[in-house]
Chains A and B, each alone.
Chain A
């Protein structure tokens, strides 16, 4: 017989999302909470993000990743929350049954009153972008290199090319330089960087590392170890331009080419996934399409800043607590929800659904634009009637946009909220 245990709330993932959600649920009165973490310690990816710049919104100071994590771990340690480390969730079902496994305790079944998904995301790999060439050692994701260097203490290479200008790639360009490696270039296939402007300044410009926009890797050379890569310029359709090939002699290629929310468990539970965010479709309470299962952080949509993960996760923690404490049979979601629609220039909007009750209150919309705009407005409409327009001096896909819809702004009974970018003439 499989052992069965019961919790009012189970949080899957002990990174920043899971930590904030669990602490908030406890503060909201939930008495039995478990956090399930597959790693050997709490904190998630923050433990390897040793650079500073975290917490400016949340704590009004500039912390490193481990320091930010530590604040929440200490909160968690004040009690009332069981932590299961080295434990992997194998199954999640729509009726909030989980099957988990660990070397120490074997297979356990858990029945939960509510579940919060906080599994985060993982990096796209070479396979995901299909770079041609040989398959030598020395090709790895930026996050893998970050763990090797910052946690395990390995050198990853001497001469490095980085493909992709996401924040982790930029951070690693600086880190590798400070550790004595030579970063030859950061290549970005798009005509703009995917990272935050401040990281381009303090990680590349500070160290005179070239950022090659509209460039990609079209060949990897070397049998056992990377001996070089070929960078090539691309046209507007992202096709390599013949004759622009340039070979860089290097022993390492780092990839910082995007993050994908990790939703195998969500799919197993039958949760609806948004094809744009690749995360669960959630409402303003962070509740997924399956009642009683909530989600927060990078498993929902990839954030730039952990501070906003924390904010979103607290929201999920409070909402899950309400559900648990109401002791009501988990009901179907109200039928008439407002759908948010990403219009012209908008890549996605989160939350994807808003309850009528939620719309009456203040709602924060998070979104990403599809390209760089220098001076534009974002327009919000309820059932095709504009309710808000806000100017932005600078909009870029690498920088998430937040818009607050104040209480009373959305007319009651609305069916859709559309968001679009209006370019200045």
Chain B
């Protein structure tokens, strides 16, 4: 059995998850999303990675970006290295794809905001 705190929402439910043969049993969660998170956290822990890339001709030197979906936790370091190699040129639209298929995960890196050209 593993005790964990849910990070799906700010409520921070204290959950317990254990494996009963093929089935995962989750207690202490207050919603279904918490249950799914608890199970996923045992099978394949993953996170959305928010960071920045360099942008030229924008009003700021950095453009905030994020992985459009969670990526496996053990890939976070490599993802940071990969994303840090990128430099973009304004204008950028919010949601614009900055890196396609990051590290073969099938997940894109997208812009978190628009950056007008100045």
Contacting residue for B113 out of A66, A178, A179, A198, CB 8 A: A66
Count contacts on B: residues with CB < 8 A to the other chain. 29
Q: Which residues of B contact A67 (CB under 8 A)?
A: 94, 112-113
Q: Is the CB of A62 within 8 A of B10?
A: no
- Write the nearest CB–CB distance from B99 to chain A, whole angstroms: 16
Min Cβ gap B2→A in Å is 13
Determine whether the beta carbon of B94 is less than 8 Å from that of A70: yes
Pair A178/B51 contact, Cβ less than 8 Å: yes
* Residue B71, interface by CB 8 Å: no
Contact of B62 among A70, A150, A200 (CB under 8 A): A150
Residue tally, chain A, CB below 8 Å to B: 34
Asked if A329 lies at the interface with its beta carbon under 8 angstroms from chain B, I say: no
Q: A50-B52, A153-B54, A198-B5 are in contact. Are A64 and B10 (CB under 8 A)?
A: no
Is B75 positioned at the interface, with any CB of A under 8 Å from its CB?
no
Please encode chain A, from 321 to 358, with 1 for each CB lying within 8 Å of some chain B CB and 0 for all others.
Answer: 00000000000000000000000000000000000000
Which of A50, A70, A200 has the most chain B CB atoms inside 10 A of its CB? A50
A198–B7 CB distance below 8 A: yes
**B1 close to chain A: CB less than 8 A:** no
Is A104 an interface position by the 8 A CB rule? no
Q: If the complex has contacts A50-B64, A153-B52, are A56 and B113 also in contact, measured as CB distance less than 8 A?
A: no
CB under 8 Å from chain B, chain A span 247-304: 304
Judged by a CB distance under 8 angstroms, whether B66 is at the interface is yes
Task: Scan residues 122-153 of chain A and give those whose CB is less than 8 A from a CB of chain B.
Answer: 149-153
Cross-interface CB contact of B61 among A41, A64, A152, cutoff 8 Å:
A152
Q: Mark B35-60, 1 if CB is under 8 A from A, else 0.
A: 00000000000011111101000011
Contact check, A152 vs B62: say whether CB atoms are below 8 A apart: yes
Is there contact, CB below 8 Å, between B60 and A50?
A: no
Known A-B contacts A64-B64, A70-B94; the reply to A197 vs B12 at CB < 8 A is yes
Q: Does chain A have a CB within 8 A of B19?
A: no
Question: Which residues between 21 and 75 of chain A lie within 8 Å of chain B, taking CB atoms?
Answer: 40-41, 47, 50-53, 56, 62, 64-67, 69-70
Q: Which residues of A contact B (CB under 8 A)?
A: 40-41, 47, 50-53, 56, 62, 64-67, 69-70, 149-153, 178-179, 196-198, 200-202, 206, 304-305, 393-394, 399
A52-B50, A66-B113 known; 9 new pairs, CB 8 Å cut-off, are: A41-B59, A51-B50, A151-B60, A151-B61, A152-B60, A178-B49, A197-B5, A198-B9, A202-B7
Give me the 4 closest cross-chain CB pairs, A-B, nearest first.
A197-B12, A66-B113, A50-B64, A198-B7
Task: Give chain B's interface residues, CB within 8 Å of chain A.
Answer: 4-10, 12, 14, 47-52, 54, 59-62, 64, 66, 73, 76, 80, 94, 112-114
Q: Would you list 9 pairs from A and B whose C-beta atoms are within 8 A, ordered by A residue?
A: A47-B113, A50-B51, A65-B64, A67-B94, A67-B112, A67-B113, A70-B113, A151-B60, A201-B4
